[in-house]
Structure 1
Amino acid sequence: MSERINELDPLELRCLTLAAHGRTREDMTRETDIPMARIDGALEDAMRKLQASNLAEAVFRAARLDLIS
C-alpha cells in the first residue's frame, strides 16, 4: 500500500482533509469551486489508493498515516 500512498495527489488529500472535518461532497464543491465530478473522482481514487472500502475508512487510514490532519 505504501507505493500507492505516495501517489495521492493534492486534490485527493484536500478532499480527504475536508471529509475528515465533516464536510459533505456538496460542501466541498461549494467551498472549493471544484465540480462535483472531480470531487467524486478524487475521493474514489483516494479510496482505491488507500485500499479503503468507503470514505470513512479512507479518512481513517489517511489520518493514521499522517497524510491529513
Structure 2
Amino acid sequence: MNAHELRDKTPDELRDALVQLKKEAFNLRFQAATGQSENTARMRQVRRDVARVKTVLNEKARGAAAEA
C-alpha cells in the first residue's frame, strides 16, 4: 500500500483501512507472543502502513480545514 493509492480514497475508506490494519497488527502481536509468527517482517509493514494511513488522514483533515 503506497501513499498515492491512499490519497485516492475517501476519509471513510481510510478509517476502515486503519481499523483493518490495527486488527492485523493485534493478531500479529498475539502470534509473536505465542511463538506462532511465520512472517516476522509483516509486523513492520503493518506498522508503517498504519502510519501512512494516519498521515494521509491528517493531510485530508488539514486540507478540509484550510478550505473552510
TM class by shorter chain equals 0.3 to 0.5
Tell me which protein shows more helix as a share of its residues: 2
- TM-score, scaled to structure 2: 0.38
- TM-score, scaled to structure 1: 0.37
Q: Which has the higher contact order (CA 8 A, sep 6+)?
A: 2
